[in-house]
A and B are shown apart, each in its own frame.
Chain A
Amino acid sequence: MSKEEEFVQMIQENQGLIYKITLIYSNDKEEQDDLYQEIVFQTWKSFDQFKKASKPSTWLYRVGMNTAITHINQVKKKPLMVSLDHSIVNFSEEIDAEKEEKIQWLYTQIRKLNLLDRGIMFLFLEGKSHEEIGQITGISTSNVGTRMSRIKQKLKSEATPKPTKVWN
């Protein structure tokens, strides 16, 4: 299998993961599309490292989060997005209204967290243990615990208002 084929396969297998990272780190649809493209591009750029990585999933989480951390700040004014004929991220399956409302509330609350806490919360929602979160993000397990309780408190202190904007 050629490098290009391996890369495409990896993107296809993990497109959901990339999409979820863009959900957490973007504020609107345009930003989300741009971030998706950027993660694909950065993954291609460092793809040789991926093949050597002992834990490919950890590697991909890291590249996705690292791209989001650096990219979102740099392109606030004008995204460097390429124009494509097709829509890349267009998941629009029907969800019942009440659930949709809760999901939008969840996105809104997560997006209020700082860049690292957003990643921690994302990994927690993905079902990762504190130890795994620590390994991926590079902080100690006890620090993960502390941050998780702080996040929990922040989220609890918020009411459950109706979202102002539904865009995914």
Chain B
Amino acid sequence: MELEEMQSLWADVSQKIEKQDKIQKELVMEITRQKFRSKLNHIRVTETVGSIICYIYAMYLLSKLSELELWYNQVFAMITILIMTILPIASLNAVKGMRSVKIDGEAPAKMLEKFERSKVRFWKVQRYGMIFGALLLVTVLPPISEINGSIEMISKPLFWVIYLPGAILFMYLFSRWALGKYRKMIDASEKLLSEL
């Protein structure tokens, strides 16, 4: 089909659309009011609750830090606290960045650029979030075992023989999956950006 034929088809569509009855005033205002309300109600519960849980756990671990006697558990606890503090901030910031792209009379090419950039940032944070999440699963268990009095279990060499290679293997597989999962999305956005 030639472009001219497409234009003529589109003109037909336009003509038919213009013939339709005018949308009722009440309906326009109802849409506006209800959309406003539904947006207010749509609080990002998962992200907020997730962050609160992270902070509570980080504070708990921080309060118990002095009780940890084993040096590696102190290191693990510090890593856990760091991840649980920084990750929610980065994640919430990235989400906020993507949602705060303001829709106004700006040129769509500029808007698309801003939006895709914030999307790339969001996916990158998600990707690292997954990887650090896997690291967290490794570092969180030994300190908690010591705090709970199960120090004997983690003092046994057998525990480390099984736990360490298992944890490393899990982290490797999980990171590979996370990297693959988000690479496609980041690549698509970056391709679009390069074409702008």
A residues lining the B interface (CB < 8 Å): 4-5, 7-8, 11-12, 15-16, 19-20, 23, 37-38, 40-42, 44-46, 49-50, 53, 58-59, 62-63, 65-67, 69-70, 73-74, 80, 82, 84, 86, 88, 91, 93, 95, 99, 102-103, 105-106, 114-116, 119, 124-127, 136-139, 152, 155, 160
Report the nearest B residue to A90, measured CB to CB.
B20
Report how many residues on chain B are interfacial, defined by Cβ distance under 8 Å: 50
Are B108's CB and A82's CB within 8 A?
no
Residues from chain B with Cβ under 8 Å of A91 in the complex: 16-17, 20
Give 22 CB contacts A-B under 8 Å.
A16-B14, A37-B35, A41-B31, A44-B32, A49-B104, A49-B105, A66-B103, A66-B108, A80-B38, A80-B42, A82-B34, A82-B37, A88-B31, A91-B20, A93-B20, A95-B12, A99-B9, A103-B9, A106-B6, A116-B112, A116-B192, A138-B110
A88 to B21, CA, bound (A): 11
Q: List, in ascending order, chain B residues with CB within 8 A of A160's CB.
A: 1
B179 CB, min distance to chain A CBs, angstroms: 22
Q: Which residues of B contact A59 (CB under 8 A)?
A: 105
Q: Residues of A contacting B24 with CB < 8 Å? A: 86
B108 in contact with A4 (CB, 8 Å): no
Bound: A29/B107 CA distance, A: 27
Given A53-B105, A59-B105, A103-B13; A124-B20 close (CB under 8 Å): no
